[in-house]
Amino acid sequence: MILEVADIRIRPGQQAQFEEAAHRGLSTVIAKARGFRGYKVQHSIESADRYLLLLEWETLEDHTVGFRGSPAMAEWRGLVAAFFAQPPFTEHFKLVALPGTS
Amino acid sequence: MILEVADIRIRPGQQAQFEEAAHRGLSTVIAKARGFRGYKVQHSIESADRYLLLLEWETLEDHTVGFRGSPAMAEWRGLVAAFFAQPPFTEHFKLVALPGTS
């Protein structure tokens, strides 16, 4: 399992509209993508315009190849890109297991 | 519930030692803090020196007042600060509920 973290800054004052659009896109467009396992939308307490989208994918390629190479990518961006104050910063993460566990 | 996200860059090549120290500090020092509910250590796939520590707290103040004002803060930093390439960037987040849910 891979965690995609999209660090997003939106235009000021558009929180409610962005949250609605993000949830709609995540629960309709992205939810249908192969390998997609779930998501959380996290809103910064200190930075009102900052969100972290935490998305779980079965494999890295399910996101970077499968989703990004599909028409769903444009559909998703069509829903949310207008709210972005700057391009999101996205990286992928692997859970580090506790020593002695797997 | 509050999510603390600590965005950490470590000195190159010290992944194994940092991961061991972080797990030890989280599972011994921070685990005893009031309001602490759990953690994950996430390692970036694209940036070998980057980690996200995701910590759950009952309230914001459990971290910012209770933990940061306790001797445990210095104990934790004593375990991990030597690995930091720069000061960590930490913010707190609230889960955004799906529209129509609470």
pLDDT band at A97 (very low <50, low <70, confident <90, very high): confident
Residue type, A72: A
Q: Where do the domains of chain A lie?
A: 2-93
Question: CB of A16 within 8 A of CB of A35?
Answer: no
pLDDT band at A101 (very low <50, low <70, confident <90, very high): low
- Please write the tens of the pLDDT for every residue from A63-76: 999 999 999 999 99
- Report the greatest alpha carbon distance in chain A: 47
Both tokens of A66, joined, read 């499968």
Residue of A nearest to B49 (CA): A93
Residue B89 CB-half CA count within 13 A? 7
Both tokens of A88, joined, read 């999101």
For residue A100, is pLDDT > 80? no
Interface ipTM > 0.90: yes
DSSP for residue B58:
S
pLDDT of residue A1: 95
pLDDT of residue B100: 55
CA B56, B60, B61, B63 dihedral sign is positive
In chain B, positions 3-42, which contact chain A (CB-CB < 8 Å)? 3, 5, 19-20, 23, 27, 40-42
What's the rounded mean pLDDT across residues A9-13? Answer: 97
Asked if A45 lies within 8 A of B95 by C-beta distance, the reply is no
Phi-psi region of A100 (alpha: psi -120 to 50; beta: other; left: phi over 0): left
**Which residue ranges of chain B lie beneath pLDDT 50?**
102
Contacts with B60 from chain A: Cβ below 8 Å? 45
pLDDT of residue B98: 73
pTM of this prediction?
0.94
Residues present in chain A in total: 102
Decide which of 3.30.470.10, 2.40.50.660, 3.30.70.100, 3.40.50.620 is the CATH code for B2-93.
3.30.70.100
DSSP notation for A34-60: TTEEEEEEEEESS-TTEEEEEEEESSH
C-alpha to C-alpha distance for A56 and A94, rounded to whole angstroms: 10
Q: Tell me what percent of the residues of chain A surpass a pLDDT of 70.
A: 96
The residues with which A48 forms a beta bridge, in sequence order, are none
Computed over every residue of chain A, the mean pLDDT equals 95
- Please write the tens of the pLDDT for every residue from A27-59: 999 999 999 999 999 999 999 999 999 999 999
